[in-house]
Structure 1
Amino acid sequence: MVFVALVYIFLSLMGIIFFYIKWKQSYWSRKGVNYIEPDFFFGNTTAMTKRKDHRSKVFERFYRHFKSRGEKFGGVYDFFSPVLIVTDQELIRNVLQKDFSHFVNRVGYINEDADAITGNLFNLKNEKWKNIRSKLTPTFTTGKIKMMFDTMTQCIKGLEKILDENAALNDPVDIRKCLLLFNSDIILTVAFGLDVDSLKNPENDFRKQFANVFKLSLKSIIKKFISDNFPQWLLVALQFRLTNKEAEDFFIKVVKDIVEYREKNNIYRKDFMHLLIQIKNTGETADNESLNSNSTMKHLSYSEMAAQAITFYIAGFETSSTTVSFALFELALHTDIQNRLREEIQLVMKKHNNQITYDGIMEMDYLDMVFQESLRKNSTASALSRKCNKAYPIPGTDVVIEPGIEVVIPVYGLHNDPEYFPEPDKFDPERFNQENKKKIPPYAYVPFGEGPRNCVGLRFGKIQSKIAIVAIISRYKVTLNGKTQLPIKFTSNRTPAVEGGIWLDLENI
């Protein structure tokens, strides 16, 4: 009798769950919005969930589906959560800029008390985001980037040593793997003020702990599903954690030790940590060596500092490594473009005592064209996501985007749209010359986002990537090695890395 009752309860529960999911996955139908028929439970993101395709390609398909049907927007489901895909330039502008007050936040779980690392600038909401953003924005001005430039270029020697060894032995190099180590050193130096030779010692404690923060595994995928589909208030009440506690404790201790040591010994270093210390003590940054304030008020806690520094690392080392890898891949395939770029680099460097300088990089117009076209053709930002925070009637329609709905702008779809970029599969830096770039609609090219919530570190990211390109192209001729699998296929990493790696042959100049 008890067994029968349990079976009845189980079947009833399964029935309730089934009809609940079906009801959730009928949201766009009830709203009168054109949508792509979802798979039960998984929604329209099955290929992503099962790691069969990268997010950028999945959202590009959504973009093409709705645009080919003349739709300015359309509905899909991430599991059973409704997502609005936007294809129209005017609506994209509204979401990112004009009507930003309706779309202030990104989608992401945050619980600073139980999971301090989630309290980073990318995840922060509403006034807390606005407050931290206003404090961090001055750390990425041109003047601050110049201040940190010499610290960044110190890492070039380690990269050159590794590449010289490969070139001498005629060994191909997995360039993204090499650049991940190089950029790891740059970020650790600039963000934490630590000289960690990752190229020599790739298994150092810092890289291990960083890997633990957002490690991609079945457990992390399940946690991400829970954080995206369960009520935030419930997860906060349950003290749910997304990130690794050991890694969190490690980085908070590292930051605290660095700050206390610098303040005690009045140590000045031209890096991001110095600027964070200034913000912690005074609420603002200054172009000087000052660390302390007469006030006892602290504007940033150690956990907040650690969260921003870690996010700086995660955002900086992976995206930059991928961007430069794709740029070198294209340059290896197009020797005429590579030769023209090298000529510009050598000419400008000659004016600057054959050194890589900030002013020199700013003078390299063709380098900027190559960089922008690489970001266009193989964007590391697969999609821009915003969460509606107050009801938004879509102009010219009867549709109202309700609070809590995720709105996605498929960057990869925009960047490979032949309406904006004819022959999108062609690598053509001339798209971004002074004349042609004026023809590109403002919201058709958004590698760093747009509006108040764009990438705060975009200047740093550009310089960091350009330093690597200049350092490599000025010293080596690069060609594609046969170990690179063509046509390239993206892996299921956060950023669209190439399956099997991009393997290059290097020839010293």
Structure 2
Amino acid sequence: MSLALFLTFSVALVSLIYLWVKKKYSFHAENGFLYDEPSFPFGSFKGVVTKTHPVYIMKRIYDKFKGKAPAVGFYRLLSPSVMILDLDLIKTILIRDFDNFHNRGIYYNEVHDPLSAHLFNIEDQAWRKMRVKLTPTFTSNKMKMMFTTVLNVSNHMVEMIKSEENLDMIEVKEILAKFTTDVIGSSAFGLNLNAIKDPNSEFRRMGRKVFNTNTNVILKFMIFNAFKSTARKFGGRIFDAEVTDFFTRIVKETIDYRLKNKIERNDFMDLMIKMYIEPDENGDKLTFNQVLAQTFLFFIAGFETSSSTLTFVLYNLALNQDIQDKLRDEIKSTILKYDNKITYEAMNDMKYLQMVIDETLRLQGPVLGQIRIADNDYQIPNTKLVIRKGTHISIPTYCIHQDPEYYPEPEKFDPERFNEENKKNRHQMAFTAFGSGPRNCIGERFGYMQSKIGLISLLLNFKFHPTEKTQVPMIFDKRSPILAPPDGMWLKVEKL
């Protein structure tokens, strides 16, 4: 090829790419939406991971357009998305018009990446069937059956902390992650993982591997979600082969052992095995890969979100000693009413404990937002704006939780925001830490339970204080998929 021909071809190719990108980035303007100006190739997310956490970018867009329109456009790489700003519209989308927004549009690959094909990601009838099958696992009665198991693990955590030689500065985030890892191991797999005492626990290592992301992993996830069909065609995998092999082996060994020895337990795996070997009323049984994916979801959702919540509760209590003392007094006085025993009923009677957790979920909750995708064109009520079929919808949970219209002085830690009167006077969609509507978090009860048990055990035995390594104010780790401190959570622990 001559130089002139090569240059001509190169210019033509660059021009075509430019026109294609320009067309992509004209989507919101053509549909009449106010929108955040994109920058190639990251769209609205320039600087994500390398300079800032995605939640700060979403908050910038939210604050810029709040009050100007019920919804605003932005871009994930080249893909147009719509952020819903109006709480009434959020309620309409998540509840009344759920049938048009029942899918999340998140990449999964049942064939090449079976761990990804779990309840959170799967779509349409597959999701509906799986949701119905799994719902009985998380009833109040099931939680009550698991209560003692979680309490025993929390007691082991307390003993481990007491055995530490230096409590003047201790990294609590890792301890809490080990606690929730052991809880999930016992509740889901019936295994005594002993991650609390074993720093080399394989389960804990795999948990770190899933959540210790880097720039390449996050960019891969964004690209797979922007080009799902192409990624599936070429066998795109979100999860590392080592993680997949580990959980495949553990689930298979657990199923084989229980079936061989006719072991039945009131836990998550027990329900999975029954659906694996026994057909339902329609003659359907779960495949092994379906059991594998749901068990994996239970693990990653149960250990990381709850350990993150517990970490930030202790952080907030360390910075607010009066609130910590008030909560400890409630725990002690409530237990006295129940013959000085920590019981399921006593836990549920601790109203201030619930308020403290909810205020933490408002300030530093693991759920940054909710994602939906439009199945069909959707005209926003009382406007001419139309959300086009296939467009991603973002419900900016974190941004709403930080909005001074709903929470005056939003940076202040104030559990009284969640007393009954204040909750009653606030819009239903102003607090959605576990989502809302038919596709809300199925494990909400379990998440609250293990967080409450962990806090009860810790606050009865220790008092928590900030140290010179405690970050104030908190700047979130830009590499973490959920909100997390960048260098661990360092607190002083005082024995009581």
- TM-score normalised by L of structure 1: 0.93
SS in structure 1 opposite 2:375? coil
- Paired residues for 1:40-439 under 5 Å: 40-48=40-48, 50-67=49-66, 69-166=67-164, 169-213=166-210, 216-230=213-227, 232-282=228-278, 299-439=285-425
Unaligned runs of 5+ in 2: none
Mapped contact 2:53–2:476 kept (Cα < 8 A): yes
* Cα shift at 1:3: 5.0
User: Would you say how many aligned residue pairs link Structure 1 and Structure 2?
Assistant: 495
| Cα distance in structure 2, aligned partners of 1:504 and 1:106 | 38
> Given the superposition, is the C-alpha separation of residues 35 and 350 from structure 1 closer, same or farther in structure 2, using an over 3 Å criterion?
same
> Given the superposition, is the C-alpha separation of residues 275 and 112 from structure 1 closer, same or farther in structure 2, using an over 3 Å criterion?
same
Unaligned runs of 5+ in 1: 285-294
SS in structure 1 opposite 2:232? helix
Q: Which one-letter code corresponds to 1:25 in the other structure? A: Y
Mapped contact 1:213–1:248 kept (Cα < 8 A): no
Deviations 1:412-435 (A, max 9, x none): 111111111112122111111122
- What's the counterpart of residue 494 of structure 1? 481
Q: Which one-letter code corresponds to 1:172 in the other structure? A: M
SS in structure 2 opposite 1:39? coil
| Cα distance in structure 1, aligned partners of 2:395 and 2:229 | 27
Structure 1, 418-427 or 242-251: larger mean CA deviation:
242-251
Mapped contact 1:151–1:271 kept (Cα < 8 A): no
Deviations 1:157-201 (A, max 9, x none): 3211222133x5333111112111111111111112111111222
Q: Which one-letter code corresponds to 2:491 in the other structure? A: L
SS in structure 2 opposite 1:425? coil
* Cα shift at 1:4: 4.5
- What's the counterpart of residue 34 of structure 1? 34
Structure 1, 201-210 or 367-376: larger mean CA deviation:
201-210
Mapped contact 2:178–2:204 kept (Cα < 8 A): no
SS in structure 1 opposite 2:329? helix
State the identity as a percent: 38
Mapped contact 1:57–1:412 kept (Cα < 8 A): no
| Cα distance in structure 2, aligned partners of 1:93 and 1:253 | 42
> Given the superposition, is the C-alpha separation of residues 267 and 78 from structure 1 closer, same or farther in structure 2, using an over 3 Å criterion?
same
SS in structure 2 opposite 1:443? helix
| Cα distance in structure 1, aligned partners of 2:60 and 2:377 | 27
Q: Which one-letter code corresponds to 1:372 in the other structure? A: D
| Cα distance in structure 2, aligned partners of 1:215 and 1:490 | 14
Q: Which one-letter code corresponds to 2:105 in the other structure? A: V
Deviations 1:299-358 (A, max 9, x none): 111211111111111111111111111111111111111111111101122233443321
* Cα shift at 1:138: 1.1
Structure 1, 135-144 or 149-158: larger mean CA deviation:
149-158
> Given the superposition, is the C-alpha separation of residues 202 and 21 from structure 1 closer, same or farther in structure 2, using an over 3 Å criterion?
farther
* Cα shift at 1:250: 2.5
| Cα distance in structure 2, aligned partners of 1:304 and 1:28 | 38
* Cα shift at 1:2: 4.5
Mapped contact 1:42–1:78 kept (Cα < 8 A): yes
- What's the counterpart of residue 287 of structure 1? none
* Cα shift at 1:296: 13
| Cα distance in structure 2, aligned partners of 1:298 and 1:215 | 37
Q: Which one-letter code corresponds to 1:72 in the other structure? A: P
**2:469 aligned with 1:466, yes or no?**
no
* Cα shift at 1:140: 0.5
- TM-score normalised by L of structure 2: 0.95
| Cα distance in structure 2, aligned partners of 1:29 and 1:175 | 48
| Cα distance in structure 2, aligned partners of 1:467 and 1:39 | 46
| RMSD between aligned residues | 1.9
**2:21 aligned with 1:24, yes or no?**
no
* Cα shift at 1:115: 1.4
| Cα distance in structure 2, aligned partners of 1:325 and 1:212 | 19
> Given the superposition, is the C-alpha separation of residues 507 and 254 from structure 1 closer, same or farther in structure 2, using an over 3 Å criterion?
same
Q: Which one-letter code corresponds to 1:414 in the other structure? A: I
Q: Which one-letter code corresponds to 2:487 in the other structure? A: G
| Cα distance in structure 2, aligned partners of 1:10 and 1:241 | 33
Deviations 1:71-122 (A, max 9, x none): 2111111111111111101110111111001111113112211211111011
| Cα distance in structure 1, aligned partners of 2:248 and 2:132 | 22
- Of the three residues 424, 430, 433, the one matched with 1:444 is 430
